[in-house]
Amino acid sequence: MSIKDAYTNGFGISFEIFPPRSDQGDAALVEHLEKLLIRAPAFVSCTYGAGGSTQSRTIELCRMIQERWDVPATAHFTCVGATRLELVEWLKSAEGAGIRNIMALRGDAPVGQTEFKAVEGGIQYANYLVELIRDQFADFGIGVAGYPEKHPEAPSLDVDIENLKRKVDAGADAVFTQLFYINDHFFRFRDRAEKAGVTIPIIPGIMPITEFARVKKIVSLSGTAIPAELLSSLEEIQEDKQAQFDIGINYTIQQCRNLVEEGIPGIHFYVMNRSEATLQILDAL
């Protein structure tokens, strides 16, 4: 199934994983995927490390998912550290592995750099990456990123949505948002994007809250807003892991219920290579 077909015949769910760094991690991921894939997702997407450090592993995992479970896979793909020719060669490798869906991203600036700069002969913005894929691999499904609370480098949400529209006009099939915990931020983003002419599906990205320490890290790294009452509740019981999990999952269940009631076409779960939280949420929904 292509990304462009994932939301045409009903509600679509998808799961995002990352390449483990050990054989033990690989075995654990397979165990969790066995449980998740029973839920018949539209696809599973796989990231790769900073600077493309796990690009080959991303292709390997996508191939395994498709061959072992007959579930479509989507490979993440960025502009970081590569020329246009090198990007095309990677896409050919993905195509040769049977991958037909790409998550096209600019990528973060390499460690030590304050802003993203394309290498000589490379690509500076994600919309040009989408153009490249659409021009040379016309049948690929293409997903792009959206930012309900705006991209950290964008001066305003309106400017960020203008950039999103460029990616859509270049040939993207669906928008997948960064994680968020306040639904009004998503609805505001969705409404402004639609007003700007974005007509492709906009899929909310959900990362279940499972522990206080992770929430604090998310806030510090991304600036994602989290309701003060929720943070306070988690902080009060930060020594009780199970209570943290229960509070976080109950909050995410209510968050997802509200999104579904408002007519979203699907949910993209950031599962962090685990299954327990996402399965509990899906059971509740």
For 34, 172, 188, 231, the CA distances from 253, given in Å and listed in that order, are: 22, 29, 20, 16
Cite the active site residues.
16
Give the DSSP H/E element, type plus range, for residue 76. Answer: strand 73-78
Q: Phi and psi at residue 107, in whole multiples of 5°?
A: 95, 160
Token duo for residue 118: 């394309």
Task: Give the separation between CA 129 and CA 86, rounded to whole angstroms.
Answer: 12
Quick one: the chain helix, strand, coil %, rounded to 5? Answer: 50, 15, 35
Residue type, 48: Y
Going by C-alpha positions, the residue among 140, 194, 200, 192 that lies closest to residue 176 is: 200
Amino acid, single-letter form, for residue 8? T
What whole-number distance in Å separates Cα of residue 189 and Cα of residue 272? 25
In sequence order, what DSSP letters do the residues of 191-257 get, joined into one string? Answer: HHHHHTT--S-EEEEE-----HHHHHHHHHHH-----HHHHHHHHHTTT-HHHHHHHHHHHHHHHHH
Round to whole Å and give the CA distance between 232 and 210: 14
10: left (phi over 0), alpha (psi -120 to 50) or beta: left
